[in-house]
Amino acid sequence: MFLQTLVTGLSIGGIYALMAVGYSLVFSVLGFSNFAHGAVIMLGAYLGLALAVKLHLGIGLVLVGSIVGSGILAVMNERLAYSVLRRRKAPSLYLMISAMGCSVFLENLVYATIGSRFYAFPEFFSRQVVQFAGSSLSLLDLAAFIVAFLAILALHVFVTRTKTGIAIRAGVCDMTMCSLMGVNVDRLIMVVFLLAGAFAGVAGVFLGVKYLVYPTMGWVTNKAYIAAVIGGLGSLPGALVGGLILGVVETFVSTYVSSVMRDVFSFTLLIALLVWMPNGLFGSDTEEKV
């Protein structure tokens, strides 16, 4: 029971982490909370669903399709809604409001076109279980955790080992200086949204497979946002650890205390953490020397 709960928690946490990465990437580079991220995740789930149901693709190709589609969507989102504000050097609050507008717009677009029905993915592997140490673990849960972990590891390698990745981290420190190094800032921000969108695609498919696909499914990203804040908004290891902690704590509370108490616990955790560690677990506040 314990192991099973732990694996379920880790899989939910992994999905939170995937979503939190998208928040963290955009927040760290542009300094605003991109609340349209949930809507991109939702559209990624619909896209994955369409690929699975209409084209009968397997989970691998569904993931690839959703990654590509959501990546392009996120880039379009930035180009249409944020880039103009960015170039006018608008305060980040305006960007956040624009993001909220995008989120409401996209959700209602789905209501108006696809409708409010709840859709289920075809059974990929949700019924399959693996026996391990006397517990039966769901293959879906294991896959969600492993894919989330590998995706975040790959992103970590990208931002520490490649030139573009180092430029993203440099832009996080100081975007103006980054442009003075010869970096085309517009292109760099496009890469950031492409990455955030790709992660949204993976998260959307796993959310859809684990639960259901519906227009407001992106609201669960509120949890991912909490995960990102717990880990330290803007930190990659923080997004992973924050997501996993939140997922595990929630699952244990639902299993051993009461599922009604679950959200009370997550929000209490958030508030307590913000009181004691306002920068989150991995948040940094390095000051430059004068």
Answer for which of 5, 83, 128, 179 binds another protein (CB under 8 A) is 179
Of 259, 281, 245, residue with least CA distance to 13: 245
Where in the chain does DSSP place strands (E)? 129-132, 135-138
Q: Which member of 100, 170, 190, 281 binds another protein (CB under 8 A)?
A: 170
Q: Which is nearer to another protein, 169 or 262 (CB)?
A: 169
113 binds another protein (CB under 8 A): no
286 binds another protein (CB under 8 A): yes
CA distances from 290 to 172, 219, 248, 287 (A): 20, 43, 43, 9
- 157 lies in the site for another protein, by CB under 8 A: no
* Binding of residue 167 to another protein (CB under 8 A): yes
CA distance 220 to 103: 13
Helix 2-30, helix 221-231: angle, nearest 10: 80
Contact track, another protein, 9-48, x by CB under 8 A: ----------------------------------------
Q: Does 279 bind another protein (CB under 8 A)?
A: no
For the CB of residue 33, give the shortest distance to another protein in the complex, in Å: 20
Pick from 185, 212, 249, 281 the residue near another protein by CB under 8 A. Answer: 185
Minimum Å distance from CB 178 to another protein?
7
Q: Judged by CB under 8 A, which of 180, 260, 275, 276 binds another protein?
A: 180
**189 lies in the site for another protein, by CB under 8 A:** no
Say if residues 29 and 175 touch (Cβ distance below 8 Å). Answer: yes
For the bound state, the minimum distance from the C-beta of residue 158 to another protein, rounded and expressed in Å, comes to 14
Q: Which listed range, 46-54, 183-191, 243-251, 269-277, lies at the site for another protein (CB under 8 A)?
A: 183-191
CB of 287 vs another protein, minimal distance in Å: 7
Residue list 259-278, contact with another protein (CB under 8 A): none
Q: Give the C-alpha separation, 26 to 38, whole Å.
A: 13
By DSSP bridging, strand 135-138 and strand 129-132 are antiparallel
Q: Which of 206, 161, 197 is nearest to 72 (CA)?
A: 197
Residue number with CB closer to another protein (91 or 101): 91
Write the CA distances from 5 to 57, 162, 204, 256, integer angstroms.
30, 37, 22, 9
Q: Are 209 and 49 in contact (CB under 8 A)?
A: no
What are the tokens at 17?
A: 């982490």
- Beta carbon of residue 284, minimum distance to another protein (angstroms, whole number): 6
Please, which residues bridge with residue 132 across strands?
Answer: 135
Amino acid at 62: V
Smallest separation, CB 171 to another protein (Å): 9
Binding stretches for another protein (CB under 8 A): 163, 166-167, 169-170, 172-174, 176-185, 284, 286-290
